[in-house]
Structure 1
């Protein structure tokens, strides 16, 4: 009997709420804010050539097939003045995450300004951080567009759409391909050479964009794609039970890292020939040993462990206890444990210290917290104070909500969705477009997207090696923070563009 008042109360509340709902006025229509558009005239000297150019920092409002607003994409574009636009390459830049704005490529070395951080793996500390002219930018030969996907930078869903509607491998590629088409229409660049440039997950994004742009009767063919710190086949670099590939593909980067930090029992004088030796071992003896599993003899096991010790600097006891399989996160903590130091993941040249030296993994990536504040300060100062973009929202450098909610499906059958792999999409794009070329930049000290995994990806799927340019730099994931590598990288990209 005691429950009856609650039951009646519940029924009364339902009736009362229903009555309120019935009398409610229609919901106000969703108001889409006007797009921000800021344009400035600037000049600079690039590759010893003075260039006058326009900066356009703006929102691009995209509509769905029914003409309803769906997404506002923020980009910063640079157009040289007094040039033959139809002959100049147009390059769209994307960073990764997923969930990262394009700030890293923008102010790291490809835009007309760049933020300076210590070049040899030191922590950048507190502000002020120098934001200087960048004579290495390619504005003398190309126009540049730095794009922030939905949920990053100032980009967002609008109208009745939600940000999550665009968070996924295929969904992201679909909205960004719509942006590319809109942009080249707005700026009348349909018959100009076109390139996509991406870093990290941005290279995955580009693989998906090759399909979205080039396939079908409304094809937008590309002259080239620039992949910086590439990850196109996740099986080559993801550690999960039963996947031996990752252990093999990370080994040359472990060796490079140990070489850099003088952690090898017998350090060779030169890095490149040493890595060739490690590659050979990884492809042959190590791959066979892992494939044999428990069928490996004691003698064979001892030989493999001895080689791993010589190539990584890790103790034989540790290698025995890990069953000859070295996880990247464990390696970063273990390599210099006796010194109380951890190495960086994005760039293993960086060193940090943890509160607990006995832990299995580091508490944070020293190559991440070593530079993050500098780039955050630089992009906000540049867009706000120097360009004049005034808006109340926070510029999202790296939005973790995007990564957590990301839909990793690619639109294929369930059996094909276990591991993300866009390498076949790039291969197909090259088969169907005879002029599509690929430039790949690898950092020797990149423990996020190891160079040997990238080499493996592009050695398969029928990709034409004659149209792939593979380059290497003595730095990490963002090799442009290392000034000698930045100079070599921009020279290499410039040569790639001029050879179109």
Structure 2
């Protein structure tokens, strides 16, 4: 069965851990006639091409308007590509010598043509106008989800917590686009969307924590030069695997290229893969995943009315209670392992049942340790329903009611077609890009992805579960004015909201820098913006964060 790798954590046994992260209006009223520096229609980059391909930048420019919370904004949209190369590349070694190829002339070294869509507000002076680089995760996801669901000028309409019917889908003016506060650049990772890779060992050159970070850093520098935005206030916005990518990129750019950022905005965060609740059984002895996931289990049981007794009226207050239990009594019980006495174990199991809605007997059989897939399978199994992973408000028919874990994600199944179909239509009709090309919303790079990461100060990559907390910590210490915004959904089983809180409160930074971090939580899931009331709050919170930190007029 196909399991989507979109945006959020999927499981892979990698060294000592099992992890891989995934990560998504009406048509433009005044789209105008497209102009292009080099027509996208003639770009021949639809495939991961052979050894003689050399990519060239492309672009197509259109105009449009959008009404954001009552304010009319006119903008220029540029859909195009920029070419980036792996670390160590220079323009004198673009061919790799290989006696078996091309009569010894060598084949092109690896390169990537990275697709982007940039929106520039008309009439805004670039020297003062903030610019935000946005991307989803995967690894292996394009930026279609953030683009069409969150902050682009057009938003696809989907059902709130049930399956969205098949086409035709509806695009509307996005009243919560961030164009009111910042110019926007949506970036597709190498190999996804309209981005392509080619050349010698291209997979190794771009598919990995550090290689991917270098590609995005290179793209951002090239973009700043192409559009003369070096002196603009700068922000990163990453979702899911885009959050560890942001930690790597901001550290690379600040400490390696002398480019300070105003802010980093994290949505559905995971920086330390040892905390993943997907398959913690593959990393026995590490108990924190169960601790940080418990508040999300409780929120999900609350949403589906599975909590025993009276349903708490105040969800955030209830979750604070669960967080306290998770980090005290539950943590102490798990830490004792086999030495936990039976009476205490039974008492803890009973309390877990009160918070999760799962039977005490099931929790005891699980030895107090229920992973995300097991919880999603068991919570509504009496109704033959599986609970959503990316957004646990969603439910769908259980593929195997007798199984141990869910075999698909009901939320991903419910909305993906609407996002992908709408973007394919929008990019060609409104942005005049992509004719004759295939858009890849997601690709499976798990087998090729190198999760080894060279942390700051280490002479070599660390084998095991990826942990980029040191990268973000170094960036914050190097630039003590860097501000960080953490956003999470209460109903996210892929990257539980309390995991982000836990990570940020364990960053190796001085206590004074904790004041640079702020937290916002929403009654939604991994894709916070899929719930329209949460999208409005997300927009307002992020816009306020940018306005407080852009240094304009200071």
Give the TM-score of the pair, scaled to structure 1. 0.91
| CA-to-aligned-CA distance 1:442-483 (integer Å, 9 cap, x gap) | 100000000111111000123422111100100100010101
Does 1:432 pair with 2:478? yes
Does 1:255 pair with 2:255? no
| Higher alpha-carbon deviation: 267-276 or 180-189 | 267-276
Q: Give the drift of 1:287.
A: 0.4
In the other structure, the counterpart of 1:487 is 536
Does 1:234 pair with 2:278? no
Does 1:343 pair with 2:387? yes
Does 1:194 pair with 2:234? yes
Distance in 1 (CA, whole Å) between partners of 2:168 and 2:446 is 30
In the other structure, the counterpart of 2:368 is 324
Distance in 2 (CA, whole Å) between partners of 1:317 and 1:123 is 33
Distance in 1 (CA, whole Å) between partners of 2:384 and 2:333 is 32
In the other structure, the counterpart of 1:225 is 264
In the other structure, the counterpart of 2:128 is 87
Q: Give the drift of 1:348.
A: 0.3
Q: Give the drift of 1:29.
A: 7.6
In the other structure, the counterpart of 1:203 is 243
| CA-to-aligned-CA distance 1:299-357 (integer Å, 9 cap, x gap) | 21121011111111111111111111111101101111111111000000000112431
| Corresponding residue to 1:367 among 399, 411, 414 | 411
- Matching of residues 277-426 of structure 1 within 5 Å: 277-400=321-444, 402-411=445-454, 412=458, 416-426=462-472
In the other structure, the counterpart of 2:507 is 461
Q: Give the drift of 1:30.
A: 1.4
Aligned partners of 1:30 and 1:160 also within 8 Å:
no
In the other structure, the counterpart of 1:25 is none
Aligned partners of 1:92 and 1:196 also within 8 Å:
yes
In the other structure, the counterpart of 2:117 is 76
Q: Which runs of 5+ in 1 are unaligned?
A: 1-27
Aligned partners of 1:102 and 1:147 also within 8 Å:
yes
Q: Give the drift of 1:34.
A: 4.1
| Higher alpha-carbon deviation: 352-361 or 322-331 | 352-361
In the other structure, the counterpart of 2:491 is 445
Q: Give the drift of 1:417.
A: 2.8
Aligned partners of 2:55 and 2:113 also within 8 Å:
no
Aligned partners of 1:150 and 1:163 also within 8 Å:
no
| Higher alpha-carbon deviation: 449-458 or 28-37 | 28-37
In the other structure, the counterpart of 1:147 is 187
Does 1:497 pair with 2:541? no
- Any idea what SS the aligned residue of 1:241 has? coil
Distance in 2 (CA, whole Å) between partners of 1:65 and 1:129 is 46
- Any idea what SS the aligned residue of 2:408 has? coil
Aligned partners of 1:203 and 1:230 also within 8 Å:
yes
| CA-to-aligned-CA distance 1:469-498 (integer Å, 9 cap, x gap) | 100100100010101000110010011011
Change (3 A) 1:433 1:42: same
Q: Which runs of 5+ in 2 are unaligned?
A: 1-49, 95-108, 550-554
Distance in 2 (CA, whole Å) between partners of 1:29 and 1:416 is 32
Distance in 2 (CA, whole Å) between partners of 1:215 and 1:355 is 48
In the other structure, the counterpart of 1:177 is 217
- Any idea what SS the aligned residue of 1:235 has? helix
Q: Give the drift of 1:125.
A: 2.2
Q: Give 4+ residue runs of structure 1 displaced > 3 Å after superposition.
A: 158-161, 412-416
Distance in 2 (CA, whole Å) between partners of 1:46 and 1:60 is 29
- Any idea what SS the aligned residue of 1:304 has? helix
In the other structure, the counterpart of 1:98 is 139
Distance in 2 (CA, whole Å) between partners of 1:183 and 1:298 is 61
| Corresponding residue to 2:318 among 242, 264, 274 | 274
| Corresponding residue to 2:153 among 89, 112, 116 | 112
Distance in 2 (CA, whole Å) between partners of 1:43 and 1:488 is 22
| Higher alpha-carbon deviation: 162-171 or 145-154 | 162-171
Larger radius of gyration: 1
| CA-to-aligned-CA distance 1:206-264 (integer Å, 9 cap, x gap) | 01112211113x31111101100011111122512221111111111001000110101
- Any idea what SS the aligned residue of 1:333 has? helix
- Any idea what SS the aligned residue of 1:83 has? coil
Distance in 1 (CA, whole Å) between partners of 2:227 and 2:201 is 26
Aligned partners of 1:151 and 1:163 also within 8 Å:
no
- More helix as a share of residues: 1
| Higher alpha-carbon deviation: 55-64 or 306-315 | 55-64
- Any idea what SS the aligned residue of 1:86 has? coil
Aligned partners of 2:488 and 2:520 also within 8 Å:
yes
Q: Give the drift of 1:386.
A: 1.7
Change (3 A) 1:166 1:29: closer
Distance in 1 (CA, whole Å) between partners of 2:56 and 2:334 is 58
Counting matched residue pairs gives 470
Aligned partners of 1:156 and 1:163 also within 8 Å:
no
Change (3 A) 1:186 1:241: same
In the other structure, the counterpart of 1:5 is none
Q: Give the drift of 1:33.
A: 4.9
Does 1:214 pair with 2:257? no
Distance in 2 (CA, whole Å) between partners of 1:374 and 1:444 is 24
Distance in 2 (CA, whole Å) between partners of 1:404 and 1:394 is 22
Distance in 2 (CA, whole Å) between partners of 1:249 and 1:207 is 21
